[in-house]
Chain A
Amino acid sequence: MKNNHFSDLLPDYLDNMLSDSDKQKIEQHLSSCIQCKLELDEMKLLFNAFKSDNVSVPSERLSAKFEAALSQEKSAIPKVVSIAPKKEKSNWASNLLKVAASVALLVASFQVGRVIQSQKNNQELIVLQDESLQFKQAAMLSLMENQSASKRIQGVNYIEEFPNPDEAIVKALANRLLNDENDNVRLNAFEALSNFTASETVKAAFINALEKEKNPSIQVAIIKALVKIQEKKAIVPMQKLLEQEDTQPFIKKEITEGLPKII
């Protein structure tokens, strides 16, 4: 029943806040509907009463007291005041933040996962390289024991794969230099070892080989290497070679030229 009337719009009509079309509609309705007209009259009376009523103005002291109390109240609950509107205001913003945060979390966890994965891959690669190094070492050591001299040389040449060969490899090479029955293998072992003359094992092997080696090509190469690093322990075996009758003349020459360089 009430739906047919405009009672809701009446206060606005009285305040003259309606659009012209609404205003016309209400005036038409009021002319035919007594109930609404009565209501409007009552409302007019009420409004006039409001207007005509003297608003009691608080005294200066009271208003000051009120302002003080208000400001005290305000300062007493600043957080409640500040948080409440913020929460209302940033409803959409906080949702966006949540989304952003979850996206960030996703990206971050993806990145972390990727880093961990790549670290794991690196570790696996290191393990793999380590394994392949061990494999190479095993292959090298086994090749050096092969019956075929060419294969033994291949094993010796594997040294190029090891920038920092460990003691086992150096010893195996020294063993080839000192004990291999094939001259080509001994020569190749010497050449492989000559890159690591800083090692005490290598120096000892060279001096040992100098006393033992009968092949002049290898002898002369060892002499050159020992002179180059000025190894003093080589002096005695070199002098011995100098005294031996079967030492080749050009080796004697190499020694007589080399000895002064050591001392």
Chain B
Amino acid sequence: MKQLTLILFALVIGTSAKSQTDYAQSLSGIEWVKIESKSDIILKTHSSDELLIKGNRNSETSERAKGLKLVGEGGSDNTHVGFYVVQDGNTLIVKSLRKNDEGKIYLPKNQNISVKSTWHGDIEIDGFSGEIEADAELNGSVDILNINGPLTANALNGDVTVTFGKVKQDSPISIYTTNGAVDVTMPSNTPSDLAMNTTNGDIYTDFELKREEKNGLKSVSGRKVKATINNGGVNISLKSTNGNIYLRKK
């Protein structure tokens, strides 16, 4: 009995200690969550209707910073985990204030999210069913798994890799990068109007493309490809300036 209370006590201490390094906020009335960071952002789903930021072990406030507040470009730490979180209308703005520390953020599956990495951060998003906007502004790459769209994603010097579950919405998907590759995987039965375009790269696919015909003439341009697959459907635009485009069947 004594042992049990001891275990319970330890558990309570443990969770309270853990809750100090995590930050949670309710998402009621929030339509969009906008996340911005200079470093890596990892977005995962969880089942509760709240924003959860998992603190890093090494992100605990150092002895030197004790009693001081972390300050960033967009605001100061109001979460005690190195993030600035503020609600603006139906949008929740989340900014990572540290410049070289990845943030792991949990959101409900159907949340609409907009993610931006402004310097060297990679963006990783897994398993969402809402709308996604991802922007790796400078040197980061974008990695998106198990989503259905709609999606807009772009990068400058990194690759954009996307794996779709089932694409069935009618609003468009737009993916491009300037200097990296676009690598998209989707189910073979996805109905779509495709536009693929790379200025200095090549296009690879294992889809049977039905090329758009103009006055009965087939388009032969190797760089810009407009085609329909599975009788047409959602507009999917893939574009790279200096990289290759890969479109794969799942």
Contacts and interface: CB of A to CB of B under 8 A. Distances in A.
A250 B179 CA distance: 10
Interface residues of A, number: 20
A148 interface: yes
A195 interface: no
A187 B239 contact: yes
A150 B32 CA distance: 13
Interface string A208-228: 000000011100100000000
Nearest to A250: B242
A151 B31 contact: no
Given A150-B173, A153-B152, A154-B171, A188 B178 contact: no
Interface in B134-178: 135, 149-154, 156, 170-178
A153 B151 CA distance: 11
Contacts of B149: 150
Given A216-B156, A220-B199, A220-B241, A148 B172 contact: no
Interface string A168-193: 00000000000000111101100000
B178 A150 contact: no
A259 interface: no
A217 B239 contact: yes
A217 B241 contact: yes
B112 A148 contact: yes
B131 interface: yes
A183 B237 contact: no
Interface string A230-261: 00000000000000000010100000000000
Contact of B178 (A153, A157, A185, A217): A217
Interface of B is mostly: strand
A184 B114 CA distance: 13
A169 B12 CA distance: 61
A183 B242 contact: no
A40 interface: no
A36 interface: no
Contacts of A151: 150, 171
A187 B131 CA distance: 19
B32 A147 contact: yes
Interface in B202-237: 235, 237
Contact of B152 (A149, A215, A216, A250): A149
Contacts of A182: 133, 135, 152
Interface of A: 147-151, 153-154, 157, 182-185, 187-188, 215-217, 220, 248, 250
28 contacts: A147-B32, A148-B150, A149-B152, A149-B174, A150-B133, A150-B151, A150-B152, A150-B172, A151-B171, A153-B152, A153-B174, A153-B235, A154-B172, A154-B235, A157-B235, A182-B135, A182-B152, A183-B154, A184-B154, A187-B176, A188-B237, A217-B176, A217-B177, A217-B241, A220-B178, A220-B241, A248-B178, A250-B242
A65 B172 CA distance: 109
A147 B113 CA distance: 12
A156 to B, nearest CB: 9
Contacts of A215: 154, 156, 178
A153 B172 contact: yes
A150 B114 CA distance: 11
A229 B241 CA distance: 21
Contacts of A148: 112, 131, 150, 171
Interface string B1-44: 00000000000000000000000000000011000000000000
Contacts of B170: 154
A188 B172 CA distance: 11
Contacts of A217: 154, 156, 176-178, 239, 241
Interface string B85-115: 0000000000000000000000000001010
A110 B199 CA distance: 63
B133 A149 contact: yes
B172 A157 contact: yes
Contacts of A153: 152, 171-172, 174, 235
A245 to B, nearest CB: 15
A19 B145 CA distance: 119
A157 B174 CA distance: 11
A215 B177 CA distance: 10
A188 B150 CA distance: 15
B234 to A, nearest CB: 10
A150 B171 contact: yes
A147 B173 CA distance: 15
